[in-house]
Structure 1
Amino acid sequence: MPRRPVYEQVIDDITTAIRTGQLKPGDRLPSIADLCVQYEASATPIRHALLLLDARGWIETHQGRGSFVAAHPPGTAAG
């Protein structure tokens, strides 16, 4: 079975953590560098995943501050 792209794994893991309440609105996500280590990947797929999560309303990314769980992410009681 072919391995799934890293960015899809990151998206799935973060959305699952938000849905299950492991990550709550306003929680800060790990840095890109930390996610690179965790997923043993370069920054490119990590950035791509965060960009897609931001575009889909799951997170909010602030230049220089990091990425945070959105106040009302989709697929949750608040969203």
Structure 2
Amino acid sequence: MPRKPVYEQVVDDVIASIRSGTLKPGDRLPTIAQLAQQYSSSDNPIKRALWILDERGWIEVHQGKGSFVAPKPPA
């Protein structure tokens, strides 16, 4: 079975962390650089993952401040 693209791994991992309560509403996510290092990736897949999570309502991205778990993430 082929490995998932990095951006899908990041999306799945962040959603799993929110669902499990490891990440709570208002918590700050690691920076793009930290996530890129964690996933041995370049910045682009991380940015794509954060965009997807933002579009789906899981996180809120604040330019210059970081990415945070949404106040009311999807159930």
TM-score, with normalisation over the residues of structure 2? Answer: 0.99
Q: By how many angstroms is 1:72 displaced? A: 0.0
Runs of 4+ in structure 1 over 4 Å off: none
Q: Which residue of 1 aligns with 2:56?
A: 56
Partner Cα distance (2:17, 2:64) in 1: 23
Provide the rounded CA distance (Å) in 2 between the counterparts of 1:2 and 1:19. 26
Question: What runs of 5+ residues in structure 2 fail to find an aligned partner?
Answer: none
Q: Cα RMSD (Å) of the superposition?
A: 0.4
- 2 CA distance for matches of 1:49 and 1:39? 12
The gaps in structure 1 that reach 5 residues or longer are: none
Alignment partner, residue 70 of structure 1:
70
Name the structure 2 match of 1:27. 27
**1:14-72: per-residue Cα shift (whole Å, max 9, x none)?**
00000010000000000000000000000000000000000000000000000000000
Aligned pair 1:16/2:34, yes or no? no
- TM-score, normalisation: structure 1: 0.94
